[in-house]
Amino acid sequence: MHEVAALTVDPASADTFEAAVQPAKPLFLAADGCFDMRLEWVIEVPGHYLLRVDGNSVDAHMNVFRKAPAFQEWCALAGPLLNEPPQVIHSHQVV
C-alpha cells in the first residue's frame, strides 16, 4: 500500500516545514505495518510537497496509526505550517 499526501506550505516556510517533518519520520516508521516514509518537494511548484508512506495496508494506516498518539504528534509538528488540508490518495502497485 502506498499513501501519497499532497502538502502545501508557504514557500517562505519551506525550510521550517522540512525541519518539522524530520522528527516525524520515526513516528511513522514505528507504526505497525509501516516500512517507509519520505517527503519529496515538487520541483515545479514552490511550497508543494509529496509525503509518501509505504505500508502493509490502508486499514492499518487509516484505522490504527491515525488513532494513535504518534499521529497527533505528526499533526502538531506539521499541521501549523500547512496552508490547506492534505489531499490524500492510496494506491497499490500493479506492474
Model pTM?
0.93
The grid cell for 44 is 515545479
Query: What radius of gyration, in Å, describes the C-alpha atoms of the chain?
Result: 13
* Mean pLDDT calculated for residue range 85-91: 97
Report d(CA 51, CA 75) in Å as an integer.
Answer: 13
Q: pLDDT for 7-41, tens place per residue?
A: 999 999 999 999 999 999 999 999 988 999 999 99
Report d(CA 50, CA 87) in Å as an integer.
Answer: 10
CATH code for 2-91?
Answer: 3.30.70.100
Given a contact cutoff of 8 angstroms between Cβ atoms, the answer to whether 31 and 70 are in contact is yes
**Residue 51 pLDDT > 90, yes or no?**
yes
> Which of 23, 25, 90 lies closest to 60 in space, CA to CA?
90
* Mean pLDDT calculated for residue range 44-50: 98
Domain boundaries, the chain: 2-91
Q: pLDDT for 55-80, tens place per residue?
A: 999 988 888 888 899 999 999 999 99
